[in-house]
Amino acid sequence: MATTHVIGLLLGAEEDWPAAFESLMERVAPAIDLDGETHRFAVERVTIEPFDLRAVPRHSLIIDRLAWWYNLPREWLKKVALMNQVHLLNNPFTFQSMEKHAAYCAMMRLGLRVPPTWMVPNKIPPNNPRMATTAERYLRQFELENVAEAVGMPLYMKPFDGGAWVGVTRIEDAESLHRAYNESAERLMHLQAAVEDFDVFSRSLGIGAETMVMHFHPSRPMHSRYSVDHGFLSAAEGDEVVTIGRTVNAFFRWELNSCETLIKDGTVYPIDYANATPDLAVTSLHYYFPWAIRTLLKWVIFCCVTGRRPTVDLNTQSYFDVADRDDLDYPAKLREYRRLADSQLDVDRYQEFCARHLADVEEASVEWVESDEFDRLLVNTVVSTYPVHERDMFLAHFRGLLGLWAHDQHVTATA
């Protein structure tokens, strides 16, 4: 028996990683035999059109980078999750309802060291005819400065459902506090204590059962925010960062998400980890881009061949049961969360599967990065991203970093 799995890409304006994914899939052309069945793969870009709620989609799995801002595809994803058992890398229900705020609450409940965070009523309340009476009766007058004092200055004021740094302000004094609050207008905001003088900003990208922990520099321009650095955390810190990312992902059922943590004096503070649908651009990930595409490919193949399917219900209580235990300290709780998360994310089964069926993908991905085809993709991306006078510089920059990745892979392979 033979099955061809259709992988749907749900995309907006981006062209680089989808083209890379398609090109690597074509090059690898997997044909995997398991239990008397041969599994093959086709990649299709999903179009946006009217749909019958009872229609049966062709897809086995969808990789989505569109639904976070476009509601029709988002509702289509919910339909295929509820009715058709299509595997979605990110659960659309938790992604819509568990914004940054809910993600803070849930992880605080697990004991994670999210900095002190308060929510304040919107500067401009909801536009509703009932608001005046409601406000008169129930909206308590409050001093913003008292809240800021309770949180601790300096702090960050940021939207409760934020992303992409929109509306994030660092607050150091009363004047900037009031200005930022006035500017927040209708947006609902958090005040969060700043982690000052941290040693490292780490951003980890979780793709299924794998995690890449990267050294991040938020104030640099986009193309150099990630630095190529392999020893910037101790083994214990690195393990904790991986555990936090995996726990978030398994808890909310996100298999493509990034997690930001600040590390200071050996303590890991998670600050932003509800980023399901993270940036995958070659111009920001550079050195780490081939890893991301290769891992996405391997994870997608694993899910389709082994029949990993999404479930709508979550098992939050199993995490809370660990959180509530008095006999466990924080490191012991983290170990339990990691055990639950690795099991939910099928880490062992995935590794065995990769070793058995996908061993040649590693080498194929290196050859691919060194190919003319990949170089053309890079050239196209640079041409469509940067103005003419910057293109040569950026092309040389990215070629250098991707060449370095390929070189490092050869070294690892022969070590």
Write out the residues near ligand ADP by the rule CB under 6 A: 115, 156, 158, 162-165, 168, 192, 194-195, 218, 260, 262, 271-272
Q: Which does 194 bind (CB under 5 to 8 A by kind): ligand ADP, Mg ion, none?
A: ligand ADP
Name which of 272 and 342 has its Cβ closer to Mg ion.
Answer: 272
Nearest to 168 by CA among 217, 219, 202: 219
Residue 210 CA: distances (Å) to CA of 110, 239, 310, 325, 334: 22, 13, 18, 28, 18
Look-up of token digits 């196209």: 380
Q: Which is nearer to ligand ADP, 195 or 233 (CB)?
A: 195
Q: How far is the CB of 164 from ligand ADP (least distance, A)?
A: 5
92 binds, among Mg ion, ligand ADP, none (CB under 5 to 8 A by kind): none
Min dist. Cβ of residue 158 to Mg ion (A):
9
Per partner kind, with CB cut-offs from 5 to 8 A, the member of Mg ion, ligand ADP, none near residue 115 is ligand ADP
The residue among 24 and 263 lying less far from ligand ADP, judged by its C-beta, is 263
CB of 203 to Mg ion, least distance (A): 8
Q: How far is the CB of 280 from Mg ion (least distance, A)?
A: 15
Q: Which is nearer to ligand ADP, 28 or 195 (CB)?
A: 195
Spatial separation of the C-alpha atoms in residues 106 and 316, rounded to whole Å: 9
Residue 114's binding partner out of ligand ADP, Mg ion, none, with CB under 5 to 8 Å set by partner kind: none
Site of interaction with Mg ion (CB under 5 A): 272
Least distance from ligand ADP to the Cβ atom of residue 232, Å: 16
Nearer to ligand ADP, 68 or 386 (CB): 68
**Residue 346 interaction partner, one of Mg ion, ligand ADP, none, beta carbon < 5-8 Å per kind:** none
CA distance 1 to 75: 33
Least Å distance between CB 394 and ligand ADP?
23
User: Considering CB distances under 5 to 8 angstroms, the limit depending on partner class, which of Mg ion, ligand ADP, none binds residue 203?
Assistant: none
Task: Note whether 263 and 200 are within 8 A (CB).
Answer: yes
DSSP state letter for 197: T
Q: Which does 256 bind (CB under 5 to 8 A by kind): Mg ion, ligand ADP, none?
A: none
Which residue is closest to ligand ADP by CB? 272
Could you tell me where the beta strands, DSSP code E, fall in 13-152?
A: 32-34, 37-45, 59-64, 87-88, 117-120
Distance CA 342, CA 173 (A): 43
Q: Across-strand partners of 226?
A: 216
**CB of residue 263 to ligand ADP, shortest distance in Å:** 12
Q: Residue 154 or 159: which CB sits closer to Mg ion? A: 159
Measured CA to CA in angstroms, residue 160 lies from 97, 100, 105, 188, 240 at distances of 12, 6, 11, 6, 25
Inter-helix orientation angle 372-385/359-369, to 10°:
60
What's the closest the beta carbon of residue 171 comes to ligand ADP, in angstroms? 11
Tell me which of Mg ion, ligand ADP, none is bound by residue 192, counting a contact when its beta carbon lies within the kind-specific cut-off of 5 to 8 angstroms. Answer: ligand ADP
Nearer to ligand ADP, 156 or 374 (CB): 156
Q: How far is the CB of 274 from ligand ADP (least distance, A)?
A: 8
From Mg ion, ligand ADP, none, which one binds at residue 30 (CB under 5 to 8 Å depending on kind)? Answer: none
CB of 16 or CB of 260, closer to ligand ADP: 260
Comparison of 188 and 379: residue with beta carbon closer to Mg ion = 188
